Amino acid sequence: MGIEKRNIGMNLGKIEYDLLLLFKETFRNRITFLLLFLIPAIFYLITIYTTSEIPILIKLASAPDEKVIRIMPRELGLIYIGLAATGFIASFVALNIMQRNTQVQRRQILCGYNPFELSLSKLAMVICIVIVLGIYISVLGFILMKPRHISGVILGYILSGFVYGSFGLLTGAVFKKELEGILVIVLLANLDIGWLQNPIFYSAAPNKYIIRFLPGFNPSQVAVISAFTDYSTNSQIIHSLIYGSVFLILSILIYGIQMRTYRVYP
């Protein structure tokens, strides 16, 4: 019996075709498309009605010497609810993309695809969704507040989506069932960008190094520093890209191992 490994050469046409299939499958249900754009609006609406306009002093983790600045809780809340919405939605969509139609993907590999091509199409799909979400959520937020550096806030949202979208792909590669993946994402995202990254909690935290180690730290710092100060965020941008890339590489490696296929001849 001879064994022939699959050809690992990359075909851009296959990636483009699989990306089109992913797009159609993701947005075939109009309710999914509606929820993607309705959830951030609901988040912002709740924030408007549950936050104060009385200024408070906040310590910014990435500012020089953790400088304390004066911020209105409502404006701060709008920034962080945007980060949370982008991260949550990107991670759930990425999880769904990774776990959907596993048997179909195996048949695609038997028909000439390789795992790397399928991984790239999933990555391209997640990046497209992250960019659209980041811009859309930023525009909603800018209607309600005026940050100092609009481009920096948009970039912070996109980086939040990239980091958590990559984490969603990794979670989908590790866990075969949707329930386990959702629980892992909810646990991390809720603790991280949904809670601990907010400067209100960070300022009083006794073990700040734990918060700094979490994946949402650098993207959130890019957004909040850009929104309220003129400090540089270059370091936080680089660390966000590194963090997301590590998740991404691990997800591709695990997915490739799971989908590894050989042709067997008698």
List own/partner pairs for 43-49 with CB under 8 A and 24 or more apart: 43/81, 43/82, 43/84, 43/85, 44/78, 44/81, 44/82, 44/140, 44/141, 44/144, 46/81, 47/74, 47/77, 47/78, 47/81, 48/74, 48/78, 48/144
Residue 114 confidence (pLDDT): 75
User: ∠ CA(201), CA(245), CA(231), 5° rounding?
Assistant: 50
Query: Within 13 A of 60's CA, how many CA atoms are on the CB side?
Result: 25
Residue 4 confidence (pLDDT): 39
Residue 10 confidence (pLDDT): 58
**Distance separating alpha carbons of residues 75 and 56, to the nearest angstrom:** 11
**DSSP letter string, 36-69:** HHHHHHHHHHHHHHH---S-EEEE-TTSGGG-EE
Residue 152 confidence (pLDDT): 94
pTM score:
0.87
| Structure tokens, 66 | 């953790």
One pLDDT digit (tens) per residue for the chain, 266 residues = 343 344 444 577 777 777 787 787 777 777 777 778 888 999 999 999 888 888 888 888 887 877 788 889 899 999 999 999 999 999 999 998 888 766 666 666 766 677 777 788 888 889 999 999 999 999 999 999 999 999 999 999 999 999 999 999 999 999 888 888 999 998 998 889 888 888 888 877 888 888 999 999 999 999 999 999 999 999 999 999 999 999 999 998 988 887 775 444 44
Residue 99 confidence (pLDDT): 82
DSSP tally for the chain: helices H, then strands E:
11, 4
**Distance separating alpha carbons of residues 264 and 61, to the nearest angstrom:** 56
